[in-house]
Amino acid sequence: MWHEPYTVVNGSNHDFVPLPGANVKVHPSMNSPESPSGRPIKTRLERGAALPLIWLALGSPALAEIAARSAPGAAVVIDLQHGLWERGAFEAAVGIAGSQTPVIARTADLSPTAIGAALDAGVAAVMAPLVESAEDARALVGASRYPPQGKRSGGGVRPLLAGIDAMRAANQQVAVGAMIETALGAQNAEAICAAEGIDFIFIGTGDLQLSMPEASPAQLQACCARIRDVAHRMGLPCGLFTSDAAAARQAFADGYEIAVVANDIGLAARGFAQALQAAQP
């Protein structure tokens, strides 16, 4: 399903995911006037702190709540591009999970409509897929910012409840991420990172592999590392999609600030298979 270029390093003792019930300081609810948890994730990214992600595609607000309660040190990603999320379920998930931990929306596409709809739900950050050029990056930022910095339209239940001052403040609070996940995007990484208003880079390893069919795993890993190094040189944190906690641990050890420690599809598939195997006589 997803290319995974990393293997576990023997003896690694990194542990980025708190156990359920651990005494971890969570993001306070309603930090941002427009979203349940706005500024903290942007501050965390600016500090370069490790940010583990829980990736949700199955469209369940209840599962989003479980993820937020179980991993308070992580951020929850709602996948609106490939996930099963309906609009009402997405809004509910942001309201429930976002009161406990930051919520990031992977938008359906690069369109202002998709980006605006995700932000109207009150997410702390958006990351848009298939950013391939400086023009794409600038369009992403423009769609994420209210005038005069951008062209985001004012509206949505949560922004309207928060009011016009909160809308203006959102320009400084919402984090904007560009997903580099094609050979062309990798080639233009420096121009993408240089676009004013981009807060972080996220590498889509699956689409990158599809875009580079002749590349070996080592070449794909090198391509990811080059994007990471470009982002760091431009002062931006960089992350990538990893298939499980072990791969995420290795990504953090390799200098990435953001990685996926768990995704709901993978957890369910592995859990069912392991349960069946464990029950065999």
> Which residues are the active-site residues?
82
Query: Which helix (DSSP H) or strand (DSSP E) does residue 79 occupy?
Result: strand 75-79
User: In this structure, are residues 216 and 228 in contact, taking their beta carbons and an 8 Å threshold?
Assistant: no
Whole-number Å distance between alpha carbons of 106 and 7: 26
Q: Which residues of 106-120 are buried (b: 16+ CB within 10 A; e: fewer)?
A: bbbebebebbbbbbb
Contacts of 135 (CB under 8 A, 6+ apart): none
Instruction: Give the burial class of 275: count Cβ atoms within 10 A of its Cβ; 0-12 exposed, 13-18 middle, 19 or more buried.
Output: exposed
Q: Three-state DSSP class for 258?
A: strand
User: In this structure, are residues 61 and 96 in contact, taking their beta carbons and an 8 Å threshold?
Assistant: yes
User: In this structure, are residues 252 and 14 in contact, taking their beta carbons and an 8 Å threshold?
Assistant: yes
Contacts of 23 (CB under 8 A, 6+ apart): none
User: In this structure, are residues 175 and 200 in contact, taking their beta carbons and an 8 Å threshold?
Assistant: yes
User: In this structure, are residues 51 and 258 in contact, taking their beta carbons and an 8 Å threshold?
Assistant: yes
Instruction: Give the burial class of 141: count Cβ atoms within 10 A of its Cβ; 0-12 exposed, 13-18 middle, 19 or more buried.
Output: buried
